[in-house]
Amino acid sequence: SQTIHQWPATLVQPVGSPLSLECTVEGTSNPNLYWYRQAAGRGLQLLFYSVGIGQISSEVPQNLSASRPQDRQFILSSKKLLLSDSGFYLCAWTTGEGYGYTFGSGTRLTVV
């Protein structure tokens, strides 16, 4: 069966520290992968998406970056976190048009 794993579930990091969030998908190949951020009252904001290994598209300029080193692995990173990076980060995947997304369980990031 197809599953998506996202970790860690919660993370508290000081301002200026680095960040690495990982997402992996099982049971499918060549998925489209996405990173979303959910902030209170602001809905879901698409941060990055990837249609293949090494192919990353950024939707908004920000303090974050993404990488896809393997077909089913998607990583969200930052060199130096800002307070404004706090939020709930969701990874998602899809295999094609009209299927919608399958979401991971999310990472609650608090920058202090």
Partner 1 sequence: AQSVTQLDSQVPVFEEAPVELRCNYSSSVSVYLFWYVQYPNQGLQLLLKYLSGSTLVESINGFEAEFNKSQTSFHLRKPSVHISDTAEYFCAVSAYQGGSEKLVFGKGTKLTVNP
Of 16 and 111, nearer to partner 1 (C-beta) is 111
Cα–Cα distance, 53 to 107 (Å, whole number): 23
Of 9 and 15, nearer to partner 1 (C-beta) is 9
User: CB of residue 32 vs partner 1: minimum separation in angstroms?
Assistant: 5
Phi, psi of 18 (to 5 degrees): -80, 165
Cα–Cα distance, 81 to 110 (Å, whole number): 10
User: CB of residue 79 vs partner 1: minimum separation in angstroms?
Assistant: 26
Of 13 and 106, nearer to partner 1 (C-beta) is 106
User: CB of residue 16 vs partner 1: minimum separation in angstroms?
Assistant: 26
Cα–Cα distance, 55 to 91 (Å, whole number): 16
